[in-house]
Chains A and B, each alone.
Chain A
C-alpha cells in the first residue's frame, strides 16, 4: 500500500503543477508579514464604489432579485453595455448575440482562450503584462509567445515586433492598453499597422480595455473600431477600474457571434451567470456614473503627476504614463535587480512596490508603483523612495 502511494508524487495535474505561481503572490506573502508598510503594490482603485452604484446593489437585494440571470447576463445590462461600447468605442454590437457578461475580465479572458485554442496554437501577447496572460494561455493548452515592449517605445507595442513573432501556428494576438503595469497606451499609427497584420495573417485580436476610461492624455481608441477588425476582435472590458468595482466581479466580452456563442458554452457549464446583485449594480454604473468616473480620473491624474515628478526629481527615471494608474520607474540607477530593489525598499523604508520582473522578464529593471493610493501615503512613500535612492544610487 505505502509503496503505491509514494509512487504517485502528486495528485495535481502535470500542466498545473508546472505552472509557476504569480510573482505578485510571493511578494504579497512577504508584505503581509510586516507592519506599517505603505503599499504602492495594489492593482485597484482606492475609492469605494460610488454610492449610487452600491445603493442599486442594495435595492436589488431588497427587491429580492436573488435568482440566476440568463447565461449571457441580464438583457438590460447587455443592452446598456452595447450602447456604452458604441458611444465610447465606436463599435456596434448586437446585445442579443455579440455580448456576454462575465466574472470580471479575468473570466472573459479565460473562456475566450478556451474557446479559441487548440493544443499548440500560439498566442502572441505583450510583456510586461498582467500576470494572468501567459498562464491563461497555457491552461487553455496554447503556447504563449511574448512580444516585448520597451521603455524606448514608451512601452507601446510595435507592428514590427508582432510581425517578427508571427508563425504559421499564430492564432491570437492579445494586449492590454492602457497597460498594467506600464501605463502605456497603443500608438495609433502602430495600431493600424497591427490591424493590417492581423487581417493579413488571419489572427484573432483580444483587446483588454479595462483601463480605457483612465486615459489622461489623448483619446482612447479601440482596435475593434478599425475597418475589418470587428469581425476578428474580442473586446474585453469591465467595471473594476473606472467604476471602482473590483470586488463586485463584473466584466464583459463583445465579439463575433460564433465566438461569443462558443464562450457562452464554457461560461454556461462552468459559471452559469455573473452575480445578479452585481449585474444590477453594474447597470446603474453605466447609466448614471459619468460624473463620478470623471472625478476619480481627475484625482488619479493629479496623483500621477505628483508621483512621477517626485520620482524624476529623486533621480529615478520615470515616463509620464498616459493611462491606467501605475507608474513604472526605471530602477537600474541603483544597480539592483527589480526584485532586490523591491525587497530592500520594503526592508529599509517600508514601502511596497512590485518588481517589474513579475510582469514578464522584460519588466526587469523597473518596478510598478500604483498611484491609486491616498495622496498622504504617496507623499510619504515618494519621500522614502527618494531617501532610498540617495543612499543607493550609483552602487553598481
Chain B
C-alpha cells in the first residue's frame, strides 16, 4: 500500500485521508498510520507545492550552477556538498557524473543576488575549483507537470 500511497501523494499531497482510504481500499486509520510511518522513517521529507512562478508577481531569479570540486581524503564529495547544501539560496543539489561534479539550483531575488552568492560564497568554499552559472529563462516542466498545458479536448459526453 505504501508504494501506491507515495505515488498518489507525489501527484497531490492535499488529498484527504478519506479519499486516500477510498482509493486504496483501506481504512482511514490505516492511511494515517502509513503516512505517520513514512514521515518517521523520513521517506516522506516534506510536502510542497508546484508553482508556475512566471505567473507570480514577485519573480525570483533561478540559476543552474555546475561546480567542479576536489573531493577530500576522508569526506569524499559529501563533506563539501553538505557545506554547500546548508546555504538557503541553494534549493537543489546533486552529485552528478560527467564533466563536473555538483549540480545546484540557486534562487535569489535578483541577478546580482545570485551572482553575489556565487562569487562571495560558493567559489570561496575550500575544495570548489570552478563554477559555471546558467540563468534559467523559462521553465517548461517541473515535478512532472507541464507549466502551460494545452486546453483540454472535449470528449463525447455519452458513448458506448
Contact = CB atoms under 8 A, between A and B. Distances in A.
Interface of A: 22, 24, 27-28, 31-32, 37, 39, 41-44, 46, 48, 130-132, 180, 298, 302-303, 305-306, 309-310, 352, 354, 375, 379
Given A302-B24, A306-B23, A39 B4 contact: no
Interface stretch (B35-43, B92-100, B126-134, B149-157): B149-157
Interface string B1-30: 000100110000000000100111100000
Given A42-B155, A44-B155, A298-B4, A306 B19 contact: yes
B143 interface: no
B160 A22 contact: yes
A87 B86 CA distance: 52
Given A302-B23, A305-B23, A39 B157 contact: yes
Q: Name the residue in B8, B23, B155 with the highest tally of chain A Cβ atoms < 10 Å from its Cβ.
A: B23
B49 interface: no
Contacts of A131: 160
Interface residues of B, number: 15
B137 interface: no
B158 A24 contact: yes
Nearest to A216: B25
23 contacts: A22-B160, A24-B158, A24-B159, A31-B158, A39-B158, A41-B157, A41-B158, A42-B156, A43-B159, A46-B155, A130-B160, A180-B160, A298-B4, A298-B7, A302-B8, A302-B23, A303-B23, A305-B23, A306-B23, A309-B25, A310-B22, A352-B157, A352-B158
B144 to A, nearest CB: 11
Nearest to A28: B158
B156 A28 contact: yes
B23 A28 contact: no
B2 to A, nearest CB: 14
Contact of B160 (A46, A132, A302, A306): A132
Contacts of A39: 157-158
A180 B22 CA distance: 23
Contact of B158 (A48, A130, A298, A354): A354
Nearest to A22: B160
Contacts of B160: 22, 24, 43, 130-132, 180
Contact of A42 (B7, B19, B157): B157
Interface of B: 4, 7-8, 19, 22-25, 153, 155-160
Contacts of A354: 158
Nearest to B4: A298
A15 B97 CA distance: 71
Contacts of B8: 302
Nearest to A48: B153
Nearest to A37: B157
Which A-B residue pairs are the 3 nearest by beta carbons?
A302-B23, A41-B158, A28-B158
Contacts of A41: 157-159
A138 to B, nearest CB: 17
Nearest to A26: B158
B158 A306 contact: no
Contacts of A132: 160
A180 B155 CA distance: 19
A347 to B, nearest CB: 15
A26 to B, nearest CB: 10
B159 A28 contact: yes
Contacts of B4: 298, 302
B156 to A, nearest CB: 7
A189 B46 CA distance: 49
A32 B153 contact: no
Nearest to A306: B22
A14 to B, nearest CB: 25
Nearest to B156: A42
Nearest to A30: B158
B22 A44 contact: no
Nearest to A295: B7
A131 B160 CA distance: 7
A88 B160 CA distance: 26
A309 B27 CA distance: 11
Contacts of B159: 24, 28, 41-44
A138 B108 CA distance: 72
Contacts of B19: 306, 375, 379
A208 B7 CA distance: 32
Contacts of B25: 305, 309
Contacts of A180: 160
A39 B7 CA distance: 27
Contacts of B23: 302-303, 305-306, 375
